[in-house]
A and B are shown apart, each in its own frame.
Chain A
Amino acid sequence: MGELVALTKKDLKILLRDKTGFFFTFFFPLIYAIFFGTIFGSFGGGGSGTISIAVVDADKTKTSRAFTESLRGTPELDVVEMGRDEAVELVRRGGKVAYVALPKGFGVQRDGMLWGEPPTIEIGLDPSRQAETGMLKGLLTKCVFEGMQDLLTDPDKMHDQIEDWVASIKADENVDPMARTALLIFLPAVDTYFQSKPREKAVADGEAAGESGGAAGFQPIVFESTSVARQWDRPKNSYQISFPQGIIWGVLGCSAAFGISLVTERTKGTLVRLRMAPIGRWQILGGKAGACAVTTFALMCVLFTLGTVAFKLRPSSIGLLVLAMACVSLCFVGIMLLLSVLGKTEQAAGGIGWAVLMVMAMLGGGMVPAFFMPSWMQTVSHVSPVKWAILAMEGAIWRGFSPSEMVLPCVILVGVGAGCSVIGVRAFSWTEQS
């Protein structure tokens, strides 16, 4: 065991002293993760998973303020209120995805939408970020209808609103007489209906009226919630995609570097010395595998810690993330052993090894995230261990995998690692005999 530790420590020491190798092992993956995380972030609303907008409230009425608050309460939106000129400038410079302007008269229009023109909201969009436009319009519509739902589910609010509406209709001379008559009959009748509904006490203190189980009132649909497994089908921020990818490049680099170093041991003659020592071949290869495993695991720990502290990586499960990292390590240690027998010289092993790893990375989503690939290529990507490595890490970060869902990628990673190890160790022994 002491010899195994000595072999592992020796390789780690050599790696740490090789400045180029150290850079490509630890810093390149970090730069990759930050660079692509930032680029992807510009497509996703400031890198925080929200759409950052400016709100211009030119109306300054109770209704417009309530609408602005409703926008603020929407988790998908990052809302800042400001003047129109400032908002336009900020969107023009790319500081915000869009501005939402509530014009003068918005409150009156909104309150009188049953008989007058519907309220108008102006949206100023950054044309380079069309992807968010549809989502933003959907969120604005949702906020408008949330106000309606509020009324329909709270008889007291409905009562106050109907009184306001009735007063407005009576005061507004422009309302069509037919509509005025109909509304002055219809609205009090609605109020009577809602007031006649039996009131139920909120089930628990603090439960807001209007929510399911709160005060009675009209509800267009009743939702029954059933607890199911968490299904986070999109990352919270772009770094949750770019960090696993960056880490994969570091792991590939480790695999290639240690594979080549095994060839170097042979060409430089140190392997003869190692074999002359009273230790078994499994210890020689085990030491190299141990150093590779420690390095890849340390690389993942360092990058994930940095990502968590500085880039809001927020893994959904630390335990599953550690499991994923361990499986990724085992897989690429096996691949390292296989790479070490692909060439008899460092140049040959390096060339062939990187060619194999690049194909793995291309197919497996190491260069372009798999979900950007056409469907046929996503099917082909199943053959690449990189795909399963990224899936395992993403499963523990943002996909919200359960332990049973982690089984498939982990079993595949460990299986590939074991298979490659067996082939590598056998081939290594054979090359030593010749």
Chain B
Amino acid sequence: MLKLSHVRKSYGQNVAVDDLSLDIEPGEVFGLLGPNGAGKTTTVNMAVGLLKPDAGSIELDGQGSPEEPRVRAKIGVAPQTLALYEDLSAIENLNFFGQLQGLHGPSLAKRVAWALEFVGLTDRGFDRVKTYSGGMKRRLNLAVAVVHDPPLLLLDEPTVSVDPQSRNAIFDNILALKAEGRTVVYTTHYMEEAQRLCDRVGVMDHGKLLALDAVERLIEKHGGKSVVTAQTAAGDERIETDDPVAELSRLQAGGKLEHFRVDRPDLEAVFLNLTGRTLRD
């Protein structure tokens, strides 16, 4: 669906993206993770045609570079910043951005109605956006991205600063879009979101792709060992192990297990193992 081949981009001496290659499959939810300054935003901006790479190529759906307007029309973007006109209503925002995407007349009205229904804002469609809560604005931000029915969606931190209800609604929206066969590129700092939603995840740092795989395989390869914390008559024990079941059986057989907890490695562990624990600016 979206193919980046040996893409490079630098700002002066600072190399933001270095020889990055990615092939995002149609219909998958792809998570792009990385600490601040890893090169995610630059990668995304190049992927949607907002930035021209210094080297390498980007191709969308075999139809050319997203720098071309007709190719770019196949992408829907929900930027991290709420890119909405607050003095307009939700319907006016959707109408406006739909028109820019070439929709007119009944097809525009139909898509606007669908997008509002999709994010659960039909009842508030005529209200100005400035009267919306943060969660409603986030949902409208997503609706604007999908109003022109694009096959590829780019969602940049779509759940920042929203309440759990709105976050769940957005998750449901994303899964629904996936079920319809759309491709979603998802950037986030919330590892549990990526783990829940993404088929594959790429971890970037310093402009390079450090790892790329399905979530379970990434955890297997880079997550490290499970940690068994057990309370026994002899005291508390903390055991790092590849086989927690076997370890628990051993403790049980010794007859001294009173309480236990197993911490399995997750995507956050993968992330920290790959990118380190040093604070980033």
Binds A, one of B17-25, B73-81, B185-193: B73-81
Q: Across the two chains, which residue of chain A brings its CB closest to B11?
A: A434
> Can you list, as one digit per residue, whether each of A1-26 has a CB less than 8 Å from chain B (1) or not (0)?
01100110010011001100000000
Q: Can you list 30 contacts pairing A with B, beta carbon distance less than 8 Å?
A: A3-B99, A6-B99, A14-B85, A14-B87, A14-B88, A17-B87, A17-B128, A18-B87, A268-B82, A268-B83, A269-B79, A270-B83, A270-B84, A270-B85, A272-B79, A272-B83, A273-B83, A276-B48, A276-B49, A276-B50, A276-B72, A276-B77, A277-B69, A277-B73, A277-B100, A277-B101, A278-B69, A278-B72, A278-B73, A280-B69
- Which residues on B sit within 8 Å (CB–CB) of A280? 69
Bound-complex Cα distance A112 to B101 (A): 92
Q: Quick one: given A2-B104, A273-B144, A276-B48, are A268 and B97 in contact (CB under 8 Å)? A: no
- Which residues on A sit within 8 Å (CB–CB) of B77? 272-273, 276
Instruction: Report B96 CB to chain A, min CB distance, Å.
Output: 5
Q: Across the two chains, which residue of chain A brings its CB closest to B102?
A: A278
- A276–B75 CB distance below 8 A: yes
| A275 on the B face (CB < 8 A) | yes
In the complex, which range does the number of interface residues on chain B fall in?
20 to 34
> Can you list, as one digit per residue, whether each of B21-52 has a CB less than 8 Å from chain A (1) or not (0)?
00000000000000000000000000011100
Instruction: Report B80 CB to chain A, min CB distance, Å.
Output: 8
Bound-complex Cα distance A14 to B93 (A): 11
- Which residues on B sit within 8 Å (CB–CB) of A276? 48-50, 72, 75, 77
- Which residues on A sit within 8 Å (CB–CB) of B70? 278
| Contact residues of A between 273 and 297, Cβ < 8 Å to B | 273-280
Q: Across the two chains, which residue of chain A brings its CB closest to B81?
A: A269
**Number of chain A residues close to chain B: CB under 8 A:** 22
Bound-complex Cα distance A6 to B99 (A): 7
- B69–A10 CB distance below 8 A: no
- Rank and list the top 8 A-B pairs by shortest CB-CB distance, nearest first: A269-B81, A278-B69, A277-B100, A269-B83, A278-B73, A6-B99, A273-B83, A17-B87
- Which residues on B sit within 8 Å (CB–CB) of A434? 11
- Chain A residues with a Cβ under 8 A of chain B: 2-3, 6-7, 10, 13-14, 17-18, 268-270, 272-280, 434
Bound-complex Cα distance A17 to B128 (A): 10
Bound-complex Cα distance A275 to B72 (A): 10
| Residue of A2, A13, A276, A280 most packed against chain B (CB within 10 A) | A276
- Which residues on B sit within 8 Å (CB–CB) of A269? 79-83
| B92 on the A face (CB < 8 A) | yes
Bound-complex Cα distance A274 to B99 (A): 11
Bound-complex Cα distance A270 to B144 (A): 11
Known: A277-B72, A280-B69. 12 other contacts (CB 8 A): A3-B99, A6-B96, A13-B87, A14-B87, A18-B87, A272-B81, A273-B79, A273-B83, A273-B144, A277-B97, A278-B100, A278-B102
Q: Across the two chains, which residue of chain A brings its CB closest to B66?
A: A276
| Contact residues of B between 115 and 158, Cβ < 8 Å to A | 128, 144
Bound-complex Cα distance A222 to B102 (A): 75
- B88–A268 CB distance below 8 A: no
Q: Across the two chains, which residue of chain B brings its CB closest to A7?
A: B100
Bound-complex Cα distance A269 to B69 (A): 19
- Which residues on B sit within 8 Å (CB–CB) of A3? 99-100
- Which residues on B sit within 8 Å (CB–CB) of A268? 81-83
Q: Across the two chains, which residue of chain A brings its CB closest to B84?
A: A270
- Which residues on B sit within 8 Å (CB–CB) of A278? 69-70, 72-73, 100-102
